[in-house]
Amino acid sequence: MEFLISIDHLLFSTINNLPHTPFLDGFFSFFSGIGSFGLIWIALGIFLAIWEEIKDKRELLALSIGILLSVIMVEVILKNLIERLRPEFSVPAIVLDRNSHSFSFPSGHATLAFVCAYILSAGHRKYRPLFYLLAFLISFSRIYLGSHYPLDVVAGFFLGLLIGWFSVQLKKYL
């Protein structure tokens, strides 16, 4: 386990110590910000419902369920169960986004981003690359800004895909 944590710290330092220019800091702060609370994903769901005229309104219900499940799983259960401190408390870091009010593992932003990318991709395959690019940028921003270790984000990725898959499967029974 110590070996995995040392690799996680090394990867964090490598990413977090990438050049920090006003442009890059603003760029990644933007993506981190739009990833908060799932607002970008809700807006995309509504936009697609109007623009693409979603025939199956259960997609929006699946998106809502996925968002709710990810918040409960990550923010209420896992973070409080695991209690991993954020990087700013453990390693030297450039921290541009202070989130010390909660624990680090897994990343809520990454989980939510990949839940929503999965669900929206299931109904809109032509936009799949854009959904996953958005999810990646939101997730990567969390490491760049000093809020999460890479392992937090990777765990959020896998958990997000799992919750997204579950939500899409559940949609069949709604």
Residues that are catalytic: 109, 148
Distance CA 172, CA 163 (A): 15
User: What is the dihedral angle through the alpha carbons of 81, 82, 88, 91, rounded to the nearest 10 degrees?
Assistant: 160
- Among candidate residues 111, 106, 105, 109, the one with its CA nearest the CA of residue 160: 111
Distance CA 166, CA 143 (A): 27
Phi, psi of 156 (to 5 degrees): -65, -40
Q: Where are the alpha helices (DSSP H) in 35-173?
A: 39-51, 58-71, 79-82, 108-123, 128-144, 150-171
Distance CA 99, CA 95 (A): 10
